[in-house]
Chains A and B, each alone.
Chain A
């Protein structure tokens, strides 16, 4: 089993690599301009500088390698650090007083900022013939002068761009760049200029809440319906549910969503049509409100999977009820309830459980539309906003996350199937 799992995981690595190459290439080929959103007053030469600083003009493979490194190593570490509070990179802490930068010729117009925490030095560079350590905090680079006061190399208020490592003001001769140890980069959104992982972490709970609730609802409604349908095949209940299921996955979610809003919000006024994203659950009342505002998005998203799962449960149950072991169980005099609910159901659920695992990435994608209808500020909405704003890094990150979900739950489904069904050999 362990060996099977390891092999399965190893196979998924090239798949992930190829997928990331596809995602990366599509976005690379695209004509979208990363500086397209900046004010028109910025002269073309400066624009070109910004592009250079962003690494837009690097060779394709270099960019892909950087991107991979960022996604496979840096960002997961960032997530872990952010959610657990652990620290992997050594950091240099300076007292806030030290960090108020001193103006100096050429650096007058730089923006100074109080930095609370500073990551340790990444490079040593030559400034005016003197070797200095270059430090990097969240978004800015700085040097320490003789008195250990930092000189910031930074974006300025008037729009000119701060000096990157290789820029003219900081003289960096070839071969003099000495990487001491790398401080970890963060992938920034072009729209908000904040780390994308922060955005993702901020929005994940809402998506998880909607997706999780609706999937649970779908499972707990669909499985019993499927079982009853199979047990009473060709009954009116069976016929009705089959037709209902087909309707359930034929009527598009956005239409059901709009119908729900019209009926339950506009006409009846039962539920709010727009999800209040600022709502905080503090006591029972606010929790009830949270439930009330979640009912519509959750139901809309759940309907499709309810239809799908009930259909599969039904057919799987039908197959099992015909088998000999069910007859044996009945002939032993086991109560009918137990024959169906215990013997047949347990075996019928094997393919259903696999399907449930396989469906999870789909619910996340389905949530894109549902979140858009009810204005839930989840991952799907973030993707749509990023797409509309031409924010490529964010789009790349989210698409990649969706792809990882796909690959991951494929593995989960395979492993579950192997675990649940002893007839499957781990090959």
Chain B
């Protein structure tokens, strides 16, 4: 694993001076050593990698077209031909689960990136500039009092059509869902980062940077940001898990992607009416959601322990 950031940089590199034989210890290296001790997190990492591999490389191995309709094979159970069964039109659930996974994971990832970027930005600015603090925290509080799920439902419903016209049915809804989930999920991160920034900006190294005349942007970017990264990384994992669940919930309520566009939540929504005929239709996509979210949460737990220097032995 490549080091994410270094804590200290010696003026002469150790390998050049020949003083040390081992490679330098880095903060991320330490964290990785600690993370490996967390068995559940390591196991989850393995499972998550498998899921990602299945979703990305799946179509290379499993050639069945997810949109191919074979009405005669409808509601087939789990057979060799259709390991995950088929839906009411005879479409192969395995192929649909693979394609659905791509969408679900992409949404989780993008929404997380949006939430983290906005949250970190707002948190940094609020923590660092005292004048903006009050205003930004009021806004954060207000966003926190918004009812997330109802608002999400309302917004996706109302702005579906214009975005569909602007970007096409799939991309439009992808953009909409990702932006809305991201914009309704940045507040905890902003509060967290603000708290961290408030303590960090009183540290000596920030005073030192100020005294040599660094401007605010430099201080924020190269002194404060690296130090708030650990809690943000932990928050990012939980945020991604949350985003995947939220998207699935939206699709499950029938308000996500269009019907012919599989996502894990949408597959559950489509399959729930045929529960008595073929439970496989619901079981596999549901299992994939649960497994992915569970793994990400365990990894988050592991990261939290690994990135907290006080817990490190």
Contacts and interface: CB of A to CB of B under 8 A. Distances in A.
A402 B147 contact: yes
A255 B289 contact: yes
A251 interface: yes
B162 interface: yes
Interface stretch (A113-121, A181-189, A242-250): A242-250
Interface of A is mostly: helix
A383 interface: yes
A395 B154 contact: yes
Contacts of B254: 388
B241 to A, nearest CB: 7
B282 A30 contact: no
Interface string B237-273: 0000100010011001111000000000100100010
A220 B280 CA distance: 35
Nearest to A29: B158
A262 interface: yes
A252 interface: yes
A211 interface: no
Contacts of B135: none
Nearest to B252: A254
B275 A258 contact: yes
Interface of B is mostly: helix
Contacts of B158: 26-27, 29-32
B248 A246 contact: no
Interface of B: 40, 141-142, 144-151, 153-155, 157-159, 161-162, 241, 245, 248-249, 252-255, 265, 268, 272, 275-276, 279, 282-283, 286, 289-290, 293-294, 297-298, 301
Most buried by A among B147, B155, B158, B248: B147
Contacts of A255: 268, 282, 286, 289-290
Contacts of A29: 158
B145 A258 contact: no
Most buried by B among A26, A252, A402: A252
Interface stretch (A15-23, A50-58, A337-345): A15-23
Contacts of A228: none
Contact of B145 (A26, A31, A384, A407): A407
Contact of A369 (B249, B282, B289, B290): B249
Contacts of A373: 272
A262 B149 CA distance: 26
A38 interface: no
A316 B68 CA distance: 54
Contacts of A156: none
Contacts of B252: 252, 254, 369, 372
Interface residues of A, number: 46
14 contacts: A15-B141, A19-B146, A30-B159, A243-B40, A246-B294, A247-B294, A250-B290, A252-B248, A254-B265, A254-B268, A255-B268, A258-B275, A266-B276, A383-B153
Contacts of B279: 262, 266
B293 A250 contact: yes
A350 B279 CA distance: 44
Given A247-B294, A399-B150, A262 B282 contact: yes
Given A251-B294, A365-B147, A31 B162 contact: yes
Interface in A363-388: 365-366, 368-369, 372-373, 383-384, 387-388
B154 to A, nearest CB: 6
A402 B154 contact: no
Contacts of B276: 266
A250 B297 contact: yes
Contacts of A361: 147
A340 B173 CA distance: 53
A261 interface: yes
A26 B158 CA distance: 8
Contacts of B253: 368-369, 372, 384
Given A18-B142, A258-B268, A365-B147, 15 more contacts: A19-B145, A26-B158, A30-B159, A250-B293, A252-B286, A254-B268, A255-B289, A258-B272, A365-B150, A368-B149, A398-B150, A403-B145, A406-B145, A406-B146, A410-B145
Contacts of A259: 282-283, 286
A37 to B, nearest CB: 14
Interface string A1-41: 00000000000000100110011001101111000000000
Most buried by A among B145, B249, B272, B275: B145
A405 interface: yes
A393 to B, nearest CB: 13
Nearest to B241: A250
A261 B275 contact: yes
Contacts of B289: 251-252, 255
A252 B150 CA distance: 17
Contacts of B248: 252, 254
A254 B151 CA distance: 19
Interface in A389-406: 390, 395, 398-399, 402-403, 405-406
Contacts of A387: 153-154, 157, 255
A373 B265 CA distance: 13
In the complex, the 3 A-B pairs of residues with the closest C-beta atoms, listed nearest first: A402-B147, A30-B158, A255-B286
Nearest to A379: B150
Nearest to A18: B142
Contacts of A365: 147-150
A266 B40 contact: no
Most buried by B among A254, A255, A390, A395: A255
Given A26-B154, A31-B158, A246-B294, A254 B142 contact: no
A398 B289 CA distance: 29
B200 to A, nearest CB: 25
B183 to A, nearest CB: 12
A383 B275 CA distance: 25
